[in-house]
Chain A
Amino acid sequence: MEMEIQTAFTPWASLGGGVLIGLSAVMVMGIFGRIAGISGITQGAVGGILPLRGAPKDRDWRWAFLLGLLAAPMLIMAAGGTVAQTVPQNLLAMAIAGLLVGLGTALGSGCTSGHGVCGLARLSGRSLVAVATFMTTGFITVFLLRHVLGGV
Chain B
Amino acid sequence: MRILWGFLSGLVFGLGLVISGMANPAKVLNFLDLAGSWDPSLAFVMGGATVTAFIGYRLVWRRRAPVLDQTFDIPTGRSIDRLLVTGAALFGIGWGIGGFCPGPAWTALPLLAPGTLIFLPAMLVGLWAGAWIKGLGLLNTKGAAT
Contacts and interface: CB of A to CB of B under 8 A. Distances in A.
Q: How many interface residues does chain A have, given as a range? A: 35 or more
Q: How many interface residues does chain B have, given as a range? A: 35 or more
Nearest to B19: A17
Interface of A: 1, 3-11, 13-36, 38-39, 42-43, 46, 50, 52-55, 58, 60-76, 83-91, 93-109, 111-113, 115-122, 124-126, 129-131, 133-143, 145-147
A4 B74 contact: no
Given A14-B20, A27-B12, A102-B129, A94 B48 contact: no
Given A94-B119, A134-B88, A42 B94 contact: no
Q: SS class of chain B's interface: helix, strand, loop or mixed?
A: helix
Contacts of B126: 98-106
Contact of B15 (A33, A66, A72, A124): A72
Given A21-B45, A85-B111, A38 B103 contact: yes
Most buried by A among B39, B78, B92: B92
Given A99-B126, A108-B86, A142-B96, A36 B13 contact: yes
Interface string B96-126: 1111111101111111011110111111111
A26 B57 contact: yes
Given A73-B23, A102-B129, A141-B96, A64 B42 contact: no
Cβ-closest 4 pairs across A and B: A102-B126, A68-B10, A108-B87, A17-B20
A68 B6 contact: yes
Contact of B9 (A10, A31, A55): A31
A73 B4 contact: no
A145 B85 contact: no
